[in-house]
């Protein structure tokens, strides 16, 4: 999700000094992700036991009906051809997440570029009006954010279903464009999701590196009222951030979040209109060559899927 996009106007660009951090006793404080030396990354506010590993090989998420396509790194990918529809909700018979509902929101849609008039339509986000959706960003070599988010969503779905969760996608390239940002929020709300994660990659300037998790701010305006979800969403975001660092080795953003990997926003419709715990994650900057090399690697995307999924598992198990 480029900061040039209407759904994501930039906060002030800051380059803080990196600070040594440690996650001690299962707690993730706001300053705990400054720098990227992690003692333990599976805790959250309120603590709890460490999440079980949700790892799976990249091959586990490939469609058995057709060969997997090749990602830009030249490695087999679990991406665009592994589509069973956004309403695929199969779960395993048992697992620690049995009875839990997770909604994965792959940012943008590969078809948005062919439907600019439709996605430019204004929708109500509570605090104002914004475009229905955007095309998203891409690497300098043309690997689209919309392809990246779908690939990551497929990998996460497999990992979370293996833990017994019911998993729904807001879109699976099974519609011409969208959904709009208000509908994305509504899908999670109507599913009564226990956790929703919106997947993105940034389109910032060269030299801006690292991931950040976007948390909902307290908003009460129009159709938006986030007061009930601010606390649990922060816990979800902290656990995802800690596990993302631990599994991928990626550092928190060096240009937003003051080195914490956490950013609070009150201007995103997907968060403002949510009534269930929800966060966004910008997994890296597609316009920086070093981050782009990670984002286009199938092996790294598997680590990213595992890190995010383990954060969700940790949150849902308490």
pLDDT, tens digit, for every residue of 167-190?
A: 999 999 999 999 999 999 999 999
Orientation of helix 145-162 relative to helix 298-317, angle to 10°: 50
Name all contacts of 33-38 with Cβ < 8 Å and 24+ positions apart. Answer: 33/241, 33/242, 33/245, 33/252, 33/259, 33/260, 33/261, 33/262, 34/252, 34/258, 34/259, 34/260, 35/251, 35/252, 35/259, 36/245, 36/249, 36/250, 36/251, 36/252, 38/242, 38/245, 38/246
Q: Which residues contact 5 (CB under 8 A, 6 or more apart)?
A: 134, 136, 137, 203
Query: Mind listing the domains of the chain with CATH numbers?
Result: 6-45+98-317 (3.40.630.40)
pLDDT, tens digit, for every residue of 257-288?
A: 999 999 999 999 999 999 999 999 999 999 99
pLDDT, tens digit, for every residue of 7-24?
A: 443 444 444 433 333 333
Question: Residue 54: its pLDDT value, please?
Answer: 63
For residue 70, pLDDT beyond 70? no
Question: Residue 1: its pLDDT value, please?
Answer: 67
What number is the average pLDDT over the span 187-212? 98
Point out which residues pair with 224 in neighbouring strands.
221
Q: Could you tell me the two tokens for 62?
A: 């490939």
Helix (H) or strand (E) holding 168: strand 166-169
How far is it, in rounded angstroms, from Cα 47 to Cα 315? 10
Name the band, by pLDDT with cuts 50, 70 and 90, for residue 94.
confident
For residue 218, pLDDT beyond 70? yes
How far is it, in rounded angstroms, from Cα 217 to Cα 156? 26
């Amino acid at each position: 999700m480029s900061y040039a996009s209407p759904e994501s106007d930039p906060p002030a660009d800051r380059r803080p000094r990196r600070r040594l951090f440690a996650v001690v006793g299962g707690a993730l404080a706001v300053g705990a992700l400054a720098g990227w030396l992690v003692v333990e990354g599976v805790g959250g506010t309120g603590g709890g036991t460490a999440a079980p590993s949700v790892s799976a090989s990249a091959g586990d998420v490939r469609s058995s009906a057709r060969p997997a396509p090749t990602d830009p790194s030249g490695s087999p990918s679990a991406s665009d051809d592994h589509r069973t529809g956004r309403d695929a909700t199969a779960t395993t018979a048992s697992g620690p997440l049995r009875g839990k509902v997770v909604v994965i929101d792959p940012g943008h849609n590969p078809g948005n570029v062919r439907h600019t008039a439709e996605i430019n339509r204004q929708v109500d986000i509570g605090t104002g009006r914004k475009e229905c959706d955007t095309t998203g960003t891409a690497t300098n070599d043309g690997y689209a954010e919309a392809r990246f988010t779908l690939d990551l969503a497929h990998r996460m779905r497999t990992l979370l279903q293996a833990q017994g969760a019911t998993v729904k996608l807001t879109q699976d390239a099974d519609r011409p464009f969208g959904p709009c940002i208000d509908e994305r929020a509504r899908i999670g709300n109507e599913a009564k999701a226990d956790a929703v994660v919106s997947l993105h990659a940034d389109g910032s300037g060269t030299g801006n590196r690292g991931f950040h998790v976007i948390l909902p701010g307290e908003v009460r305006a129009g159709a938006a009222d986030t007061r009930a979800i601010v606390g649990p969403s922060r816990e979800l975001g902290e656990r995802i951030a800690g596990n993302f660092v631990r599994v991928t080795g990626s550092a928190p953003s060096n240009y937003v979040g003051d080195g914490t990997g956490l950013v609070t926003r009150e201007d995103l419709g997907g968060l403002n209109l949510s009534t269930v715990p929800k966060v966004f994650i910008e997994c890296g900057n597609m316009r920086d060559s070093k981050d782009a090399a990670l984002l286009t690697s199938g092996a790294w995307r598997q680590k990213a899927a595992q890190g995010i999924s383990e954060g969700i598992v940790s949150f849902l198990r308490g």
